[in-house]
Amino acid sequence: MKEKKIKAIAVGVSAGGLKALVELFSNLPADFSLPIVVTQHLHPADDSYLATLLDRITLLKVKEAIDKETIKPGVIYLAPPNYHLLIERKETISLSSDEKVNFSRPSIDVMFESAANTWGAGLIGIILTGASSDGAKGIKIIKDAGGLTIAQDPNTAEYSMMPQAAIDTGAINNVMSLDEIGKFISSLRR
């Protein structure tokens, strides 16, 4: 069977996310060459502390996404508070203040769907801890586009509702602990 060429990783996370993202990104190698796009549910008034904190614990560059910027390899992009993050077909970022989806802005479903439309079978979609079902619809779209889908094992998640909702869609390829997801991601090369 022909191996898929991985082009990008999309991560959705909510409640309990800070701890999960620190664990996931702290061991990535300096030569990691895939772009990672993260939608973390944030309060609209939050500042960019998340990008600053994550940038300190990983060897990769972590930044809050900027509208119309080109996505680069080896960079972790975070959806800014109160904006949906979308991936455009020419691998640029689009920020939107459209209505909330699943009571959230940024919405994981919005980001996952646009990432699947751009990268298709070259995308890995990952759902981590969270206390909503946001991301379940989007993870199914990633799977339908031929992408690889991963959910954090709900038994290891601080909040199990979000990974369990994704698993319940039947569209998850692998259920893993955070440690297993981190090791898997670290082994990837573009």
Dump pLDDT digits (tens) for 126-164.
Answer: 999 999 999 999 999 999 999 999 999 999 999 999 999
**Cβ 33 vs Cβ 74: under 8 Å:** yes
Q: pLDDT digit string (tens) for 6-45?
A: 999 999 999 888 999 999 999 899 999 999 999 998 766 6
CATH top class, domain 8-186 = alpha beta
Task: List the catalytic residues.
Answer: 14, 41, 134
Residue tagged 């646009």 (tokens): 114
User: Mean pLDDT for the chain?
Assistant: 92
Cβ(150)–Cβ(126) below 8 Å: yes
**Global pTM?**
0.94
| Domain range list for the chain | 8-186
Label residue 2 by pLDDT band (50, 70, 90): very low
107 Cβ contact list (under 8 Å, min separation 6): 39, 84, 100, 101, 134
